Amino acid sequence: MGYDIMSFRNNIGICISLCEQELQNRKKGIKGESSIEQIEDTILPELNQLLKKIDYGQLPPKPERYLLSFANAFKVWGWNMQQPTELFVQLVKLDDAYKKI
């Protein structure tokens, strides 16, 4: 299955919207897998930086493409892979697509 840069960019936008929704939930006291710090300090900055790299044609070479946010969710933060949240699922998809575009 091929990936194109516009679809990838749109999927980043979807993931950013999910982050903003999760962030609002945490700030309202609604518990969830992600924390305010994870979203504000890691995920959103990385996704916004990725949009800039796309806009300026500055994507790294394919072997260097990975999302730190996905790696953290998977290995550091210990998000549940058995019952993944929509945000986790989107990060998995983005990480996979990033390596292929």
Instruction: Tell me the per-residue pLDDT of 14-34, one tens digit each, with 9 for 90 and over.
Output: 999 999 999 999 999 999 999
Instruction: For residues 45-51, give the mean pLDDT.
Output: 97
Q: pTM to 2 decimals?
A: 0.91
Q: pLDDT tens for residues 54-81?
A: 999 999 999 999 999 998 888 889 898 8
**What is the Cα–Cα distance from 12 to 14, expressed in whole angstroms?**
5
**What is the Cα–Cα distance from 76 to 6, expressed in whole angstroms?**
30
pLDDT given for residue 1 in this prediction: 42
Is the pLDDT at 2 greater than 70? The verdict is: no
Q: 60 Cβ partners below 8 Å, 6+ apart?
A: 53
Structural contact between residues 33 and 85, judged by C-beta atoms closer than 8 angstroms: yes
Token output for 1: 């299955």
